[in-house]
Amino acid sequence: MTRAREFPGEESTPLGDLAAIGANLDPMAWSERALDVLLPQLACMVQVLPLEFPEGRYGLVNITHLVDGLDEGRSEIRYFSSGNLDRITRHVFKPERVQDQWIFKIPQTPRRAFVTDRFVERVRQAGLSGFDFELVWSDEQEVVDSVTR
């Protein structure tokens, strides 16, 4: 497999431990190092397809862990005139549903990945590169961030 050649100069940029296909979206490509660090906690929550780049081995990670944890009544959600969900502009989660999680998706936006502070802390402790986190919700006990690039 080779990297896209659409952006001149990008090929010389080293790949990080996370090579996202799209911001906040599943699937993501994680380096072998990231997989070694994160899979012990996440193995039952993800599927991994091996990838090989000239720069090294990666795994295409599909998050399969779905948590019905969004508090729709307290979140700010935009809908199309058809009644279908357009976007969530402010997330409020049910603490009892997300407090013990590492990584998950929600039924309302099944292509968007969310992680908790325990995931963020593990990534930072290991010094993994390419992971960037945006705070989307917080309460006294838990912080939920989305994986971005």
Q: Where are the beta strands (DSSP E) in the chain?
A: 18-20, 28-31, 46-53, 56-63, 76-79, 85-90, 103-106, 109-116, 132-138, 143-148
DSSP count for the chain of H helices, then E strands: 3, 10
Domain count, the chain: 1
pTM of the model: 0.82
Q: What is the pLDDT of residue 121?
A: 95
Any domain includes 55: yes
Any domain includes 1: no
Any domain includes 120: yes
Any domain includes 4: no
Any domain includes 81: yes
Any domain includes 5: no
Q: Which domain holds residue 41?
A: 10-148
Q: What is the pLDDT of residue 8?
A: 54
Q: Which residues of the chain have pLDDT under 50?
A: 1-3
Any domain includes 141: yes
